[in-house]
Amino acid sequence: MYILRVLLFIAAILGGFAYIARQIPQEVSMPPEEEKFDAAKVKTVDDVVEIGQKIFFGKGQCALCHALGGGTSGRCPNLGGDNPVGIKLTREFEYETYTQPNAYIYMDYTNSPPKRFAARMPEINKPPIGLTEPEMLTVFAFLQKASGPVEITPEEIIALANPRKEESGQSAPAHLEIVSLGDAVSGKATFEKFECVGCHKIGEILGGDKGPDLLPALKKKEIVAIRSAIFEKSDAHQSYDEKMTVKEMKDILSYLAGFKTAKEVETLAGHVAPTAGGGI
Amino acid sequence: MNQFRNFLKRGGWLILLSLGFFLLGTFLKGGFAFAEEAGSAMAEYRDIPGIGSRNAIWVIAQLHILFAGFVLGVPMFALTCEYIGYKTGDIRYDKLAKEFTKLLTASFGTTATFGAILLFLLVGMYPKLFNYLSGVFFPTFILYAFLFILETIVLYIYWYGWDYMAGRKKLHLFMGLLLNLVGLAIMWTADAWLSFQASPVVLSTSMGYWERLWAAVHNPTWNPVNIHRVIGNVVLGGFMCGAYAGVRYLGSKTQAEREHYDWMGYIGNFIGVFGLLPLPFAGYWLMREVYEYNQQMGITLMGGVLSWLFILQAIQIGVLFLGANYYFWQGLAYRARVEARYKKYILAMVSVLILCFGVWLTPHSLVASLSEARAMGGTHHPILGVFGVMSAKLTVVNLMILTTFISFLLYWRANQTATVSWAKAALYFQYFLFTVAVIAVISLGVYGYYVPAVVRVKILSTAQVLVVLFVLITVTPLTALSLKSAKVTGTMTWGVMPPRSQYVLVSNGILVILTMTLMGYVRSASRVHFHIYGVMRDTSAYAYTPSVGFAASMMAGTTFAFCLIVLFIFWVAGLPDKAAKKQVAEDTSSKLAIPTGGNG
């Protein structure tokens, strides 16, 4: 019988618990509707910002790591509060941050002078997140809105969502619309400053033999690959991430982008004075 | 148990068999539904008609985790007791450890069975989720299987080698330690899966496979969950032991049995309280990490749709604190017979506990009718509303911990008088420490109302925790040293506790189980409509968060089912002892019968 009494006692405790729980507000929380990007709904800048906000906290998973002011997050930079990135960063930098987070140096803009930032951010235009380019632009618009005026226009979003057909019938790569390189003229000076031609050939007639010929990559427009290679840790390149600024790197890439054929190299060779040194 | 046997004899088996067929039929009906779906396409979800896939997973997962907690908590308890027995030479501790290890062997199979059912249900009903988790965690599945086999081997050696290794106690203790270490490794492996679901990190395709795996395992809440569960299992092991002893005490027929189970209940309660004191700190760390990880999740938990669950938790833990203290006071009154000396202190402590309990369970927003809300000027009561915020709650939790610690110290010191020359100085130093700690905890709590949340959460609350921990860590060894050569002024009489004290032990055990059930639900519900928070959305029909009442009913039902199964296991594990006792009784009666038989 004592077992029965114990069971009744247990049942009374559990029943009491369930009873108390039923005396407090009974609210069933339904999941929100899943947001899908629809360019047709974009009419105003506010629409762009609103979509960006939803993507920031939803599909983009940005809020998993980044805070927007208020509290702090020890894992990734706080993008708001005292450090609003929206008015600090260019759209090019943002785009490259989203799509090539580990391709080249990251400058920790919270420090002065900037320090190299060890990025752990995923490429958000690839799985599992897989944001499209218009979606990325809306996120940037949302970040801009948090700290100042919004430069992104609804027209840009609509244009990116509906890429125009070129004469060949091929769709133009959308990211070319928002990514710009640096200044080619400054790039030439930077190229000389870092004595790149001491090791690299560009075609048959220019540069040293220690590094690979850059022309094949330039022909294939592999600018991003070259950019990554510049900052890969190697005997030759081990300190570029600390010595070269983002602007210098962009200028070099812009300068190199001008070399597309061997003939152009010959023509432009005069612009570059090969050095006898071994480079860095 | 005789009634149950009679019930079976009287045809009850037919009822049970019919019930079994009914349940099997229901399940098969669902199974046929699976088969129909399976042919059509790769299903993301499957359902069990009438029961619901989420409910099925809920119950089975909860039972599995409760048994797993028991199976991992009891070895910690058993090893501690065995070690104390080894060091002190008190054979009662060794017997206690062995008695509980016997329950382990019976529970281990049940844990594995529920684990297997859970796996089948997950694979069958949530294939999309399981496919994703397999893709990320597969090597840990292999590790888990390996550890489980190792745990089984070590458990068998530990249990079956108990008497065999009696002469090599150190080796046996080492096996006990190994059992615990493997058990912890199993738990931490599984913790990686569940904590990743609540606090995932983004797994980039640019990461290597092992880098991805480690990033997923070492997610932001993995460590806090690990530590919280280790301490939680110590508490569960202790209070379950206490509850078991309480039940056996109530059914004891001899004074010797009462003495044994009274002592066992005391040890169980002691270990349970020992774990309970630091447990809120571990919980606080976990919640802080949740806030660090994602503020929205923290707000959903503490200030949103799930916040009422923390009021329920406050009720549970508050009653648990009261129960644990009441049991100490009952010990002072009946075992030590010093109630008169401590009566005024007990009255003061019960007042403090009840006041703190009241503050802890005060919600931020009161449930009020429209007219009441108008009269109050909102749902925040002008006076009680002050107690509904974290600053007040953390303050009273710390005060309750200090009070329980004082109860424990009073019981410890009862019937002993310290004889060391510095005893008085040590006592005054303890008074000083407690006074300063109480003032500091209250001051920090009040100051918390006037600073931003970030200061309160990061600095003030941590300072409160450190103050209380300092008291626990300082006073415990100081008391132990001062009582080392103490003069015994009275005796502890075992087996004289009233039945109500044993019901308190049962209540404590149930409340710990219920709290584990509740907080398991809270942790799971914090993901809201995601299987993996922010990464994989739940698109099934069960993506909503149910009402608190429904959830509480599910928890109560599951806890009751767990209690029934545990009672069954206790009964089964006790059968060999009963058979042995019966044999001894028969042997004794047959020996006694010889002289009276007349034929010898």
SS3 sequence of B545-581? ECCHHHHHHHHHHHHHHHHHHHHHHHHHHHHHHHHHH
Q: H helices within B161-254, ranges in order? A: 169-198, 209-217, 222-250
Give the per-residue pLDDT at A120.
57
Do residue B454 and residue A71 have CB atoms under 8 angstroms apart?
yes
Amino acid at B126: Y
Of A271-280, B96-105, B529-538, the poorest mean pLDDT is in A271-280
Query: What is the token pair recorded at B27?
Result: 């399940």
* Burial classification of residue B409, based on how many CB atoms lie within 10 Å of its CB (0-12 exposed, 13-18 middle, 19 or more buried): middle
Give the per-residue pLDDT at B547.
92
Q: Is A185 on the interface with B (CB under 8 A)?
A: no
Give the per-residue pLDDT at A210.
78
How large is the average pLDDT for residues B541-565? 94
Q: Residue A154 pLDDT more than 50?
A: yes
What does the pLDDT look like over B493-509, one tens digit per residue? Answer: 899 999 999 999 999 99
B-chain residues near A7 (CB < 8 A): 563-564, 567
How large is the average pLDDT for residues A115-135? 69
* Burial classification of residue B64, based on how many CB atoms lie within 10 Å of its CB (0-12 exposed, 13-18 middle, 19 or more buried): buried
pLDDT band at A173 (very low <50, low <70, confident <90, very high): very low
- To 10 degrees, the CA torsion angle through B300, B305, B311, B312? -120
Q: How many CB pairs under 8 A join A and B?
A: 143
Cβ contacts of A187 within 8 Å, gap of 6 or more: A250, A251, A252, A253, A254, A255, A256
Domains of chain A, by residue range, sit at 39-164, 184-271
Annotate A76-108 with b (16+ C-beta within 10 A) or e (fewer).
bbbbbeeebbbeebebebbbbbbbbbbbbbbbe
Q: Is the whole-model pTM more than 0.95?
A: no
Give the per-residue pLDDT at A105.
47
What does the pLDDT look like over B32-58, one tens digit per residue? Answer: 444 444 444 568 899 888 889 999 999
Do residue B552 and residue A2 have CB atoms under 8 angstroms apart?
no
Q: Residue B511 pLDDT more than 90?
A: yes
A-chain residues near B547 (CB < 8 A): 26-28
Pairing mode of beta strands B487-488, B530-532: unpaired
User: Could you give the CA distance from residue A231 to residue A245 in angstroms, rounded to a whole number?
Assistant: 11
User: Could you give the CA distance from residue A111 to residue A90 in angstroms, rounded to a whole number?
Assistant: 18
B-chain residues near A64 (CB < 8 A): 200-202, 293-294, 533-535
Do residue B556 and residue A22 have CB atoms under 8 angstroms apart?
no
Is the CATH number 1.20.58 carried by domain A184-271?
no
How large is the average pLDDT for residues A223-231? 66
CB A126 within 8 A of CB A102: no
Query: What is the token pair recorded at B38?
Result: 């399976």
A-chain residues near B537 (CB < 8 A): 31, 34
pLDDT band at B472 (very low <50, low <70, confident <90, very high): very high
- Omega cis (within 30) before A113: yes
Q: Mean pLDDT of all residues in chain B?
A: 85
Q: How close B121 comes to chain A (CA, Å)?
A: 23
Q: Is A33 on the interface with B (CB under 8 A)?
A: no
Domains of chain B, by residue range, sit at 337-368+379-488
Q: Identify the top-confidence range among A58-62, B106-110, B252-256.
A: B252-256
- B 280-339: CB under 8 A from A: 291-296, 305, 308, 311-312, 315-316
B-chain residues near A27 (CB < 8 A): 305, 547-548
Q: Is B386 on the interface with A (CB under 8 A)?
A: no
Q: Residue B559 pLDDT more than 60?
A: yes
Q: Identify the top-confidence range among A18-22, A260-264, B296-300.
A: A18-22
Residue labelled with tokens 């499957």: B46
Cβ contacts of A83 within 8 Å, gap of 6 or more: A77, A109, A110
Q: How close A130 comes to chain B (CA, Å)?
A: 11
What does the pLDDT look like over B254-281, one tens digit per residue? Answer: 999 999 999 999 999 888 988 888 888 8
Do residue A122 and residue B204 have CB atoms under 8 angstroms apart?
yes
Q: Residue A19 pLDDT more than 70?
A: yes
Length of chain B: 600
Q: Residue A272 pLDDT more than 50?
A: no
Give the per-residue pLDDT at B308.
86
Query: What is the token pair recorded at B362?
Result: 């005060």
Query: What is the token pair recorded at A103?
Result: 């391709």
Length of chain A: 280
Per DSSP, the three-state class of B536 is strand
Do residue B552 and residue A26 have CB atoms under 8 angstroms apart?
no
Backbone angles phi, psi at B508, to 5 degrees: -60, -45
pLDDT band at B571 (very low <50, low <70, confident <90, very high): confident
Looking at residue A208, the DSSP 8-state letter turns out to be -
- B 448-467: CB under 8 A from A: 454
Give the per-residue pLDDT at B586.
74
Give the per-residue pLDDT at B14.
47
Do residue B514 and residue A75 have CB atoms under 8 angstroms apart?
no
Q: Is B135 on the interface with A (CB under 8 A)?
A: no
What does the pLDDT look like over B146-190, one tens digit per residue? Answer: 999 999 999 999 999 999 998 899 999 999 999 999 999 999 999
pLDDT band at A118 (very low <50, low <70, confident <90, very high): very low
Give the per-residue pLDDT at A114.
43
Instruction: Kindly state the percentage of chain B with pLDDT values over 70.
Output: 87
Q: Identify the top-confidence range among A90-99, B284-293, B416-425, B547-556.
A: B547-556
Instruction: Kindly state the percentage of chain A with pLDDT values over 70.
Output: 61
With CA atoms as reference, report the closest residue to A11 among B308, B232, B514: B514
Select the more confidently predicted residue: B104 or B348: B348
Q: How close A66 comes to chain B (CA, Å)?
A: 9
- B 347-366: CB under 8 A from A: 363
Give the per-residue pLDDT at B157.
94
Rounded CA Rg of chain B = 26
- A 74-113: CB under 8 A from B: 74-75, 102
Mutation to test the B interface, candidates A9, A23, A24, most B Cβ within 10 Å: A24
B-chain residues near A126 (CB < 8 A): 204-205
Q: Identify the top-confidence range among A66-75, A90-99, B282-291.
A: B282-291
Q: Is B566 on the interface with A (CB under 8 A)?
A: no
CB A14 within 8 A of CB B316: no
Do residue B202 and residue A28 have CB atoms under 8 angstroms apart?
no
What does the pLDDT look like over A192-226, one tens digit per residue? Answer: 888 887 888 777 656 777 788 887 777 766 666 67
With CA atoms as reference, report the closest residue to B437 among B410, B412, B403: B403
User: Could you give the CA distance from residue B138 to residue B116 in angstroms, rounded to a whole number?
Assistant: 17
How large is the average pLDDT for residues B133-155? 94
User: Could you give the CA distance from residue A211 to residue A207 in angstroms, rounded to a whole number?
Assistant: 9
- What is B321-376 written as a DSSP string? HHHHHHHHHHIIIIIS--HHHHHHHHHHHHHHHHHHHHHHT--SS----HHHHHHH
Q: Is B374 left (phi over 0), alpha (psi -120 to 50) or beta?
A: alpha
Of B39-43, B301-305, B373-377, the poorest mean pLDDT is in B39-43
Q: What angle do CA B189, B515, B548 make, to 5 degrees?
A: 110
What does the pLDDT look like over B61-75, one tens digit per residue? Answer: 999 999 999 899 889
A-chain residues near B323 (CB < 8 A): none
pLDDT band at A109 (very low <50, low <70, confident <90, very high): very low
A11, A58, A123 ranked by CB distance to B206: nearest: A123
ipTM greater than cut 0.90: no
User: Which residue of chain B has the CA closest to A102?
Assistant: B206
